[in-house]
Amino acid sequence: MATEEAPGFNQEVITQALAAAQSHSASLHATATKAHDRLEDGALTLGAQCISVTVQNGKVCLNLPFGIGHVCLPVPSWIPNGTAAQACLAICTKWGIPCGVEVTVSVAGQLIVRKNFGCSC
């Protein structure tokens, strides 16, 4: 599947998820206490969007944000080509700054693949 043909995620939804992470980080800084500071590592993962995808040639291909670009994830062989699937994007942040994404792919509600790009969520 060519890069431009692979489905991608809505930039506006990604922007809104990042704004929520930044707002959360700002509120933590404003109310931080010493005890709280020892427990808070700044990591936050926000679900951004789920989209419909189709299994082709034993994989699901997507276009990912933040310069990651075109990726293909393997799908077990018991899932036939043409099967409808759902790909979900979560944005991984540290102190409100994006450091990676996590992509999950499910078929009929069953998780079949999970992959992190960048920092772990």
Average pLDDT over residues 15-30: 80
pTM of the complete model? 0.80
CA dihedral (66, 101, 89, 55) positive or negative: positive
SS3 75: coil
CA angle 2, 7, 101 (to 5 degrees): 110
Each residue of 46-98: pLDDT tens digit? Answer: 888 999 999 999 999 999 999 999 999 999 999 999 999 999 999 999 888 89
The yes-or-no verdict on residue 1 having pLDDT over 60 is no
User: What's the total number of domains in the chain?
Assistant: 1
Residue spans of beta strands (DSSP E) within the chain: 43-54, 59-64, 69-74, 84-94, 97-107, 110-118
Q: Write out the residue range of the structural domain in which residue 48 sits.
A: 3-118
